[in-house]
Structure 1
Amino acid sequence: MIAGVDGCKRGWVAIVGETPELRVYESFAGLLEAWPDATIAVDMPIGLPDRITGGGRSPEKQVRAMLGPRQSSVFAMPARAAVELGAQMTGRIDDDYPLHRKASALAKTLSEPPKGVSIQGFYLFPKILEIDALLKGDPKLRTRVKESHPEVAFTVLNSGVPMSLPKKIKGRVHEAGMDERRALLARHGLTASFLTDAPPSGVGVDDVLDAAVCWLVAGRIVRGEAVSFPSQPEQDAHGLEIAIWA
């Protein structure tokens, strides 16, 4: 059993099963409960170093070099202590902006050269910590829940050539970019109707396509065809793998 997963406003959107179906789960724990034996490729950072050197975690630095115009889609994650401040997030902007500044200040003390936290990366913290807690609590999950990244996966599927068009422009869906990705998914055998249907409430069109390409990655992990960046993954202090699979 395989699943490709992406975060969304409602929680997590998953493409699951050998004959893929779209499902939405409020929690990652709920997804794991529904698919207890699935190999999962998820678009969310896993593995948080205590310090960051050179501008990001090792997989982030490596894949940016291959993404060309799409490299901005790879957010640099800060050190674990800065991410763990996300546990204090309330979801209210007035409360969370000061916390963002605090996280950025801490991240700078734990990185060389000093680097803060992008606002986009900051709002990933609660979902990162949701998976992080589950993997720290159950080491057996670590063999079947793997970090992926859609733009890296699309590039690998496209013979190493990055997508020529963005998925979004100024926060709005760019249909030509979506169609470019749908065409690539189709070339690799994925033509399910959920790729063109209106997504469920609380799920973006881009979330569905990202989960779909992660589903292809999960299948390749099971078959031993996927590649990891770096090829020899590191581990953080909790034994979590630091690698992007594609």
Structure 2
Amino acid sequence: MKEYIGIDDCRGGWVAAVLGDRLELIFSETLEEMRDLVASSTLTLIDMPMGLKSEGDGERVCDVEARKFLKRRKMSIFPVPCRQAVYSENYREANKVNREILGKGLSKQSYNLFPKIREVDNFITKDSEILENIIEGHPEISFARLRGEEMKHNKRSIEGFQERMEVIEKFFPGADSTVEIFMEKYKRSVVARDDILDAIILAIAASSHREGYLTVPEIPSVDSHGIPMRIFIPRIGR
């Protein structure tokens, strides 16, 4: 059976949406716990940087190119730090190193994601064959492309939750009940409702690859560990 997976980080760890004959939601404290799930998937999309620059001024090309697919929500694609900064011991050192290598400092918000970025990096470098199954994706781009236009409301608002759920229901009717049951099982301090929807839309986007997709850039560069720096872009509508 073909399974398409979307993975998003959350406060307690990671949430995965698995699309097969049905929709299944899975919570794991570590990404490593999902290795077998990813390895057996037809395609997995994850909302976290895959591939880190080690030299050269400026951002990853994939981030710059991906922002062109958004207008109101293009800032949801944040500048990805360099590898040396991600593995620095503290914020001050990371900020200094990133400024020296990429020519730009770091926000505290970006720094707070470092543990998850390292987790993804270690997940890939532990066994690079996993790259055959997983690609970096982006929820806001996926929502916009599959809906045909960008979301109007912030994803953490009630209105934002409802409009995103409408898109999901279009492609997977009955998903709302699965989300509701899952939300009753976990506290929002562990898994927020927008994390769940982000994982689901990534799984839906992954399943759309059968009908055509692209990655930006078309021919990606690879980082010092051989990881392609690219972002999955689903086709418009379905």
TM-score calculated relative to the size of structure 2: 0.87
SS at match of 1:131: helix
**How do 1:127-206 and structure 2 match up within 5 A?**
127-159=116-148, 161-167=149-155, 173-192=156-175, 193-197=177-181, 199=183, 200-201=186-187, 202-206=190-194
Quote the sequence identity (%): 30
* Structure 2 runs not aligned, ≥5 long: 234-238
Tell me how far 1:37 sits from its aligned partner. 0.7
Deviation by residue 1:89-141 (Cα, 9 ceiling, x = unmatched): xxxxxxxxxx2222111100001xx2111222211111111121121121210
* Corresponding position of 1:64: 67
CA distance in 2, matches of 1:198, 1:175: 18
Matches within 5 A, 1:28-107: 28-34=31-37, 36-38=39-41, 39-54=43-58, 56-85=59-88, 88=89, 99-107=90-98
- Is the contact made by 2:44 and 2:133 (CA closer than 8 Å) also made in structure 1? yes
Q: Distance in 2 between matches of 1:35 and 1:149?
A: 17
Residue-by-residue CA offset, 1:139-198 (whole Å, 9 max, x unaligned): 210111111110111121122x2212221xxxxx31111111111122223541233456
Distance in 1 separating the partners of 2:126 and 2:211 = 26
Over aligned residue pairs, what C-alpha RMSD do you find?
1.8
Residue equivalent to 1:241: 228
Other structure's SS at 2:217 match: strand
Given that residues 146 and 205 in structure 2 are in contact (C-alpha distance below 8 angstroms), is that contact kept between their aligned partners in structure 1?
Answer: no
> CA separation in 1, counterparts of 2:12 and 2:30?
9
SS of 2:68 mapped into structure 1? helix
Aligned equivalents of 1:156 and 1:29: distance in 2?
30
Q: Quick check: 1:52–1:78 contact (8 Å CA) kept in 2?
A: no
Question: Do the aligned partners of 2:19 and 2:204 also contact (CA within 8 Å) in 1?
Answer: no
> Which of 11, 14, 21 is the equivalent residue of 2:13?
11
The verdict on how the C-alpha distance between 1:183 and 1:122 changes in structure 2, with shifts beyond 3 A counting, is same
Alpha carbons 1:153, 1:214 under 8 Å: kept:
yes
Distance 2:202 2:87 in 1: 26
Whose strand fraction is larger, Structure 1's or Structure 2's?
A: 1
Indicate the larger mover: 195-204 or 229-238: 195-204
Distance 1:190 1:149, change over 3 A: farther
Query: Does the C-alpha gap of structure 1 residues 75 and 52 become closer, same or farther in structure 2, counting only changes over 3 Å?
Result: farther
Distance 1:147 1:180 in 2: 24
Partner secondary structure for residue 216 of structure 2: strand
Aligned partner of 1:121 in structure 2 is 110
SS at match of 1:208: helix
Aligned match of 1:215: 203
